[in-house]
Structure 1
Amino acid sequence: MPKIAVNFFTEDLTYNLKQKTRIREWLLSTITAEGYVLEELNFIFCSDAYLLHMNQQFLDHDTYTDVITFDNAETEKTIAGDIFISIERIQENAKTFKGTVLDELCRVMVHGTLHLLGYKDKTKAAKTLMTEKEDHYLSALKASA
């Protein structure tokens, strides 16, 4: 079986993602289901401070966030991107929403991936659709367990 081009890195902290193969396959099936081809998808796990700096530097936002997505695709219907995720935000959100860190991390990973697939979340209607897509693909992940 060929290697799936979904990569996991850490920037300024240590985090060991569990179930990497299953998550890679799930993200690939999500991308394929949306009619896209995966070229390369990099997830970079980092701290709140690191992501805040990126938010300030690249997006001119002076706020904490859980995820920032950079689309590097050069052709239509191709996924090539970098998704930066604050593990500290994920841990905090998991407590707030009374879920597991892995469940929250998967939600944010698919959220960033959906941005690369063209979904937006700036309007109420767009945010509703994004959440429906997240829930749909998260249920597919749970079904594969």
Structure 2
Amino acid sequence: MIIDITDETNQTTDEQSELLKQLLDYAGRMEMVNEAAELSVTLVQNETIQEINRDYRGKDKPTDVISFALEEQGENELDIVGEDLPEHLGDIIVSVEQAQDQAEEYGHSFNRELGFLVVHGFLHLLGYDHQTVEEEKEMFERQEHILQEFGLKRNEIR
């Protein structure tokens, strides 16, 4: 996959960006995503994700991750098609501050929490959701399986 990571916070290292790329590539292979598919990850502060959460979800508070799936067609939107167009899965936006707080709260590494949030967002791009108990169980089991297989285990400092 073609993965673009932008850190607007300047709080993550090149190694962490590379870890996220490897994790997303691994998750993409596990989910049998087209190798030419594209997606972006943007790491932001709470203030930025709060604005996005307010403007797009009507919730005026920070959150940990938001995904915008570009392959989903909303009501009254035109379907854009073409043989030469790359498959763009969408955008994942992660609050670095929330990831740091949650890593401390759950007692595991920042890398584990960042990976958890990115995989969570990625699965949303692929159509997974957690609106019902059944959907939540399926999504969270898949998410945990990907992280475990990749080697980002809970309560492990990496």
Question: Is it true that 1:7 corresponds to 2:7 in the alignment?
Answer: no
Q: Distance in 1 between matches of 2:18 and 2:100?
A: 22
Contact 1:114-1:130 within 8 A present in 2 as well:
yes
TM-score, with length taken from structure 2? 0.78
The equivalences for 1:65-144 within 5 A come to: 65-73=63-71, 78-142=87-151
Aligned to 1:63: 61
TM superposition shift of 1:35: 2.9
Q: Distance in 2 between matches of 1:96 and 1:22?
A: 22
Question: Is it true that 1:33 corresponds to 2:42 in the alignment?
Answer: no
Q: How many residues align?
A: 138
Question: Is it true that 1:47 corresponds to 2:45 in the alignment?
Answer: yes
Contact 2:38-2:89 within 8 A present in 1 as well:
yes
Gap runs ≥5 in structure 1: none
- Indicate the percent of aligned positions where both proteins have the same amino acid: 26
TM superposition shift of 1:130: 1.2
RMSD of aligned Cα (Å): 2.1
Runs of at least 4 residues off by over 4 Å: none
TM-score, with length taken from structure 1? 0.84
* Deviations, residues 31-77 of structure 1 (Å, cap 9, x unaligned): 232232252111100011110000111121223210000112367xx
* Deviations, residues 1-35 of structure 1 (Å, cap 9, x unaligned): xxx41111023x21224244443233123223223
Gap runs ≥5 in structure 2: 72-79, 82-86, 153-157
Q: Distance in 2 between matches of 1:25 and 1:91?
A: 20
Contact 1:79-1:117 within 8 A present in 2 as well:
no
